[in-house]
Amino acid sequence: MLATGAVGRAHVVVDTVPGLVVTGDRPRLERVVQNILDNALKYSLPTTPIRVQMLRQKEWAVLTVCDSGVGIPAEELSLIFTPYYRASTARTMTGSGLGLAGAKALVEQHGGDIALESTLGQGTTVVVRLPCAPLTRQDDGPTPRQDPAGDPDHASPEDTDELAGTRPGRAPGR
């Protein structure tokens, strides 16, 4: 599915595949996506599009956000996920330097990874990979979690609440 729209004055192009589901802590995963999009919007000119793609690669849900913003100098890329670090190209804008560090921690808590590529003056691409919810053999749809009583055929009410490809709940391993 391809959608376009304006956020403020910026143009955002979204390309997703239907039925892609990630199991995890919904508010925290939303915070990751919001941080990445906020950065793309903040450091790009309003006339340049932000491209957002969500697709499945084997057992991974892959979110890619690409902007044509100010970019980050190559020598600073290794520091970009460090708490309180702000790229030299970002220091004139408001911010704390905690957003990407926090996003990385949350993604890793969900069993995923985050990577960033950037070219000074050309833009930044952020890629987040999270494990997809398991598929059933019958319909290739998401498999519901077991309810607290242990009945695998009975999904809890929160399993039916899906938004932006996420399911509420606890992150794997937590």
Torsion of CA 12, 24, 20, 9, to 10 degrees: -10
Rounded to whole angstroms, the maximal C-alpha distance in the chain is 55
Least confident among 35-39, 94-98, 145-149: 145-149
Confidence at 45, pLDDT banded by 50, 70, 90? confident
How confident is the model over 121-150, as a mean pLDDT? 70
Share of the chain above pLDDT 90, in %: 58
Instruction: For the beta carbon of residue 4, count every other beta carbon within 10 angstroms.
Output: 11
| Residue appearing with tokens 């044509």 | 68
- Inform me whether the pLDDT recorded for 172 exceeds 70: no
> 73-117: per-residue pLDDT in tens?
999 999 999 999 899 888 888 889 899 999 999 999 999 999 999
pLDDT(129) > 60: yes
Mean pLDDT of 128-138: 80
Would you say residue 171 has pLDDT above 70? no
User: Tens digit of pLDDT for each residue in 49-73?
Assistant: 999 999 999 999 999 999 999 999 9
pLDDT in tens, 14-28: 999 988 999 999 999
Q: All domains of the chain, ordered by start, with CATH?
A: 2-132 (3.30.565.10)
Dihedral angle, C-alpha 73, 82, 38, 28, nearest 10 °: 150
Provide the H-helix boundaries in the chain: 26-42, 99-109
What was the pLDDT predicted at 47? Answer: 86
Bridge partners (DSSP) listed for residue 40: none
State the pLDDT confidence band at 46, using cuts at 50, 70 and 90. Answer: confident
Q: Residue 145: pLDDT above 50?
A: no
Say yes or no to pLDDT of 153 above 50: no
